[in-house]
Structure 1
Amino acid sequence: MSTPDQKSRLRLAAIAGAVALALGLAACSKDSGKDAPAAPGAKAEEHAGEKKGEGKDGHAEEATELTLTSEEAERAGVKVEAVKAQALGETVVVTATIYPDQDRLVRVSPRIEGRILSAPAKLGDKVRAGQTLATLDSVEVGESHAAWTQAQAELRIAEADFKRAESLNAEEIIPRKDFLRAQADRDKASAALRAAADRLRLLGGAPGATGTGVAGFAVTAPFAGTVIDKKVTLGELATPSEPMFTVADLSRVWIQAALPEAALMKVRVGANAKVTVPAYPGETFSGKVSHIGAMLDKDTRTVAARIEVPNADGRLKPEMFATATIEAVGEKREAIALPDAAIVLLEGKPTIFVFEQGAYEAREVEPGERIAGRTVLKSGVKPGDQVVTEGAYALKARKLKSQLGHGH
């Protein structure tokens, strides 16, 4: 049977043994941890969607490539096209203003004075040829309608007299001269009716109108176009000297530019031109130089030049400011030009993204001159490269985000 002192010594020995065992296990674990594999479920230190390499000092280098799934690329608006060399020549860049085609623009006024009854055409409406823009009434039209009605009645009387004279002349009851007089009266009445009808139509009246409509007439569109101006107040008196509407065919517009004196020898009528407007960044509209002015403005030292541009969809609006890039006379050279939006600044350097081997590589380039929304590249790209032409800013944002994730 053990004494209390013996029990106390046994407990102390057991505690000392346990401490020694724990210290030994900790030292063993520390030595073996250097070569131990990562625990299951531990993630590799690698950025999703970015390729990485290892430098000479054993640290991970910053990636220059990004990978996106087709769904991610579509959501980001990324579009890729194979670049190719194009024949580019010297160009002349001028500022310009858009105007309607003056050969297809008309200011519509009534032929005679009339009080405005209605004006169904609204500003901005597209109208067809002959469509009623406004309805007016006029005393003169009413008088013309009355004259036409009277001419009809006189013709009916003259025709009846002629038929009776013709019948009597056949039976030799009346002299020949009476028959001829009746025939002349009939022809004169017929001519008077035609003249009255023509005058009524010229004033805009309707020969078949009845009641209060006999004094009314319509102001119509001379051709299909768009109502770009309207100055109408119901009840007011409209006159031939004051246009009520301005109608323009905007399917083709004029780009009026001021051509510098020094550029006159470089530009010819018929030269191709590219037009850009701030409203549609990155888009160009094609046209041709149709006119170069005959006189120089002594104050600005420029010559007026006109570029005609198709505008079937009506996107180009009169009075818009524009920039026109006109092909100059001279030899052309082969060069690669990309849309301006394809080039972004990355770390202060002009950069494009090239799609290669399933990844988007950021590549520094040397830009040259800008031509109608495109930039000529002097270096950094070659024909056949798959270059991101849309969505470069989205790729830039992803790259900057990945750099922040690396602690830059």
Structure 2
Amino acid sequence: MTRTNLFTLLALVAATALAGGAILLHDGRAPGAAAEAHDHGGKAGAHDDDGDDHDHGDDHGANHAAAPDAIAMPDAVIAASRITVASAGPATLDLGADFHGEVRFNADRTAQVVPRVAGVVESVAADLGQRVRRGEVLAVIGSATLSEQRAALLSARERRETAAATFERERRLWEAKVSAEQDYLLARQALREAEIEQRNAETRLRALGADLAADPSALGRLAIRAPFDGIVVEKRLALGESVAADASVFMISDLSTVWIDLVVSAQDIGKVPVGARASVTAAGGGAPVEGRVSYVGNLFGESTRSATARIVLPNPQGLWRPGLFVNARVVAGQAKVAVAVPADALHTVEDRPSVFVRTAVGFEARPVTTGRADGAQVEIVAGLAPGETYAAGNGFLLKADLAKGSAEHSH
């Protein structure tokens, strides 16, 4: 064997010896003792005669199983986490029912604007979405029918003026004993007929929405005007287009109020009395808006077997747009309960509703039995006594901490 190979062999032997010593030092026992202890442990696990070790393990497991329900948390950490606490006590619940619905135009403040005479569109002044005032010109059309009506009015005015002059002359002559009374009476009758004809011509023009004092050079022009303050929500005419007398050329709606139509089944119809207070929330979320039930339908649909209940909702900002789906809670009464907590204070722990109750060292998750609810508060029937302090806000942090502790314990 060469000198180099000899040194290599000695180095391997030394490394093996050092590794064995390290193992002995780490275990603290000789190899035989370790084996003996292992064998003893196996026998202890196989025999339950004295029960000391086995009972100790059971006690440890029981204590460890109860730990996940409690959360140790100093006051400083509670304050830093912004976990608010409250004292359990009585509350008044708004009893009602929840319904789905849809925002619709207020039909009492929505109008289909028609020209009322056939014609051709000469100008259009209003656009979709434009806010208009009552009497504002939306469009102008030219109409032969309107021209004939205005011409008839001008003729009636001329005949009345002539009849009035004739009547005045005949009256003076009759009073002077120059003409016969019959001539005076005929002149008076002619004046009255002329007045009736003039009023009839004016009424026909008013029915068409035409201006009685129009410029004689524009007898055939009709200005289509807004019937009230509102927004142009539909527009169905264009410049140069021919329109019929009954064509709906604009739809104007006053969106300062809207209707919320709710779908109410037969078994829930008694939960929606007229005049009941209602809280409406957009299906996509947002702050609720208060309104009142103004109408409940008397008939049920043949296909849906449901009735319509209506809420009149103020809409000063125009945020409630027709077609939007909403959720509404109609409050039909109130009830006083001994203990209630905010809905956010309830959490599901091990598939049971629970409340985090304040303890000397932090919180504990306590299962409770719930009762009635109004969306904001929930009645606690059992599990939480009046005066007990619980986590009312940001309790989800406690639930997260509890879940984390359970995961670490399981691991």
TM range (shorter): 0.5 to 0.7
CA–CA distance in 2 between the matches of 1:363 and 1:211? 89
Q: Are 2:140 and 1:138 equivalent residues in the alignment?
A: no
Out of 190, 194, 206, the residue aligned to residue 189 of structure 1 is: 194
Match of 1:120 in 2: 125
CA distance in 2: counterparts of 1:119 and 1:387, whole angstroms: 63
Correspondent of 2:324 among 320, 324, 347: 320
CA distance in 2 between partners of 1:104 and 1:267 (Å): 24
Count residues in correspondence.
Answer: 324
Which TM-score applies when normalising by structure 1? 0.63
CA RMSD of aligned residues (A): 4.4
Aligned AA (1:117): E
Contact 1:83 1:387 in 2 (8 A): no
Change (3 A) 1:82 1:108: farther
CA distance in 2, matches of 1:79, 1:220: 59
Contact 1:344 1:396 in 2 (8 A): no
- 5 Å-filtered alignment, 1:225-304, equals 225-288=230-293, 290-297=295-302, 299-300=303-304, 302-304=305-307
Cα distance in 2 for residues equivalent to 1:386 and 1:123? 55
Instruction: Determine the structure 1 residue equivalent to 2:36.
Output: none
Structure with more helix by fraction:
2
Aligned twin of 1:156: 161
Q: Contact (CA 8 Å) 1:367, 1:376: kept in 2 or not?
A: no
- Worse-superposed segment, 240-249 or 124-133: 124-133
Which residue is equivalent to 1:309? 312
Partner amino acid, structure 1, of 2:280 = V
Q: Matched residues in 2 for 1:295 and 1:201: separation?
A: 41
1:140 maps to amino acid: T
The 3 A distance-change label for structure 1 pair 363 and 152 is: farther
| 1:120 positional shift | 2.4
Asked whether the 8 Å contact 1:152–1:193 carries over to 2, the reply is: yes
Q: TM-score, normalised by structure 2?
A: 0.63
CA distance, structure 1, for counterparts of residue 132 and residue 371 of structure 2 = 44
Deviations 1:330-357 (Å, cap 9, x if unpaired)? Answer: x7342535375x8789999999999xxx
1:62 shift after superposition: 4.9
What whole-Å deviation, never above 9, does each CA across 1:181-226 have from its counterpart, x for those lacking one? 2222222222222222222222222232225432122223333333
Structure 2: distance between partners of 1:384 and 1:125: 58
Instruction: Select which of 376, 380, 385 maps to 2:378.
Output: 376
Q: Alpha-carbon deviations, 1:2-48, whole Å to 9, x = none?
A: xxxxxxxxxxxxxxxxxxxxxxxxxxxxxxxxxxxxxxxxxxxxxxx
* One-letter amino acid of the structure 1 residue matched with residue 331 of structure 2: E
1:124, distance to aligned residue in structure 2 (A) = 2.7
Deviation (angstroms), 1:139 = 0.8
In structure 2, what is the Cα distance between the partners aligned to 1:243 and 1:382?
A: 64
Q: Deviations over 1:128-157 (max 9, x none)?
A: 433333222211111111111222222222
Structure 1: runs of 5+ lacking an equivalent: 1-60, 355-360, 404-408
Aligned residue identity for 1:285 = E
Contact in 1 for aligned 2:272/2:296 (Cα 8 Å): no
Q: Does the 8 Å CA contact 1:275/1:372 hold for their aligned counterparts?
A: no
- 1:323-338 map, 5 Å: 323-327=327-331, 332-334=335-337, 336=340, 338=342
* % identical aligned pairs: 25
